Chain A
Amino acid sequence: MRERRRVVVTGIGVVAPGSMGREGFWDMITEGRTATRRITFFDPTRFRSQVAAEVDFDGVKLGLTAQEVFRNDRFVQMAMVAADEAVADSGLRFGVGDADDAPDPDRVGVTLGSAVGATMRLEQEYVQVSDAGRLWQVDPRYASRFLASALVPSCGATELAVRFGAHGPATVVSTGCTSGIDAVGYGAQLVEDGDADVVVAGASDAPISPISMACFDTIRATTDSNDDPEHASKPFDARRNGFVMGEGAAVLVLEEREHARRRGAEIYCEVTGYANRCNAFHMTGLRPDGVEMAEAIDRALGQGHTSPDEVGYVNAHGSGTKQNDRHETAAVKRSLGPAAGSVAMSSIKSMVGHSLGAIGSIEIAATALAVQRGVLPPTANYEVPDPECDLDYVPKVAREQKVDVALSVGSGFGGFQSAIVLASPTRRES
Chain B
Amino acid sequence: MTELLVTGLGVVAPTGVGVEEHWASLVRGEPAIRSVEGFDARQYGITLAGQVRDFVPADHVAPQLMVQTDRWTWMSLAAATLAAEDAGYTPPEDDVYATSVFLASGSGGNEFSQHEIQGLWAKGPKSVGAYQSIAWFYAASTGQVSIRDGFKGPSGVVVSEGAGGLDSIGWARRVVRRGTPAVLVGGTEAGLCPYAMLCQVTGGRLSTAERPEDAYKPFDRRANGHVVGEGGAILLLEEPGAARARGAQKVWGEVAGYGATHDAHHHEDPAPDATQYARAIRLSLADAGVSPDEVDLVVADGAGVPELDRLELEALGAVFGARSRPVPVTAPSSWTGRLMAGGSALNVATALLAMRDGIVPGTAHLDDPVDVPPGVDLVGASRVQDLATVVVLARGAGGFNSSLVLRRHAGGATS
Q: Is A342 an interface residue (CB 8 A)?
A: no
CB pair A167–B264 under 8 Å, yes or no, is: yes
Q: Which residues from A are CB-within-8-Å of B178? A: 189, 275, 303
Q: Is A171 an interface residue (CB 8 A)?
A: yes
- Please encode chain A, from 279 to 299, with 1 for each CB lying within 8 Å of some chain B CB and 0 for all others: 111111000000010011000
Chain B contact surface mostly? mixed
CB pair B203–A213 under 8 Å, yes or no, is: no
From the candidates A71, A106, A151, A292, name the one contacting B152 in the complex (CB within 8 A). A292
> Smallest CB–CB gap between B355 and chain A, Å?
26
Closest to B266 in A: A162
- Please encode chain B, from 124 to 157, with 1 for each CB lying within 8 Å of some chain A CB and 0 for all others: 1110111011101111101110110111111111
CA distance A176 to B44 in the complex (A): 31
CA distance A213 to B44 in the complex (A): 30
CB pair A217–B128 under 8 Å, yes or no, is: yes
Query: A133-B123, A414-B140, A416-B139 are contacts. A148–B202 as well, Cβ < 8 Å?
Result: yes
Of residues 111 through 128 on chain B, the ones whose CB sits less than 8 Å from some CB of chain A are 113-114, 116-126, 128
Q: Which residues from A are CB-within-8-Å of B279? A: 106, 167
Q: Is B106 an interface residue (CB 8 A)?
A: yes
Q: Which residues from A are CB-within-8-Å of B195? A: 126, 129-130, 138
Query: A143-B202, A214-B120, A280-B96 are contacts. A151–B196 as well, Cβ < 8 Å?
Result: yes
From the candidates B43, B132, B143, name the one contacting A137 in the complex (CB within 8 A). B43
CA distance A143 to B198 in the complex (A): 8
Q: Which residues from A are CB-within-8-Å of B262? A: 110, 157-158, 161, 166-170
- Of B6-14, B231-239, B323-331, B394-402, the stretch lying at the interface with chain A is B394-402
CB pair A277–B116 under 8 Å, yes or no, is: no
Q: Is A96 an interface residue (CB 8 A)?
A: no
Closest to B204 in A: A148
From the candidates B107, B121, B260, B276, name the one contacting A152 in the complex (CB within 8 A). B107
CB pair B267–A186 under 8 Å, yes or no, is: no
Q: Bin chain B's interface residue count.
A: 35 or more
Q: Is A308 an interface residue (CB 8 A)?
A: no
Q: Which residues from B are CB-within-8-Å of A213? A: 125
Q: Is B75 an interface residue (CB 8 A)?
A: no
CA distance A151 to B397 in the complex (A): 11
From the candidates B117, B126, B159, B396, name the one contacting A123 in the complex (CB within 8 A). B117
- Please encode chain A, from 117 to 133, with 1 for each CB lying within 8 Å of some chain B CB and 0 for all others: 10000110011011011
Q: Is B76 an interface residue (CB 8 A)?
A: no
Binding site for B on A (CB under 8 A): 46-48, 71, 105-106, 110, 115-117, 122-123, 126-127, 129-130, 132-134, 136-140, 143-155, 157-159, 161-162, 164-176, 179, 182, 186, 189, 193, 210-211, 213-219, 221, 275-284, 292, 295-296, 303, 412-416
3 tightest CB-CB pairs across the interface, nearest first? A414-B143, A148-B203, A133-B122
- Sample of 29 A–B contacts (CB below 8 Å): A46-B126, A117-B108, A127-B121, A130-B195, A133-B117, A133-B119, A137-B43, A148-B202, A149-B268, A151-B191, A158-B267, A158-B399, A161-B264, A162-B267, A166-B264, A172-B160, A173-B156, A174-B157, A174-B158, A175-B142, A179-B139, A278-B101, A278-B146, A278-B155, A280-B149, A280-B151, A413-B137, A414-B143, A414-B144
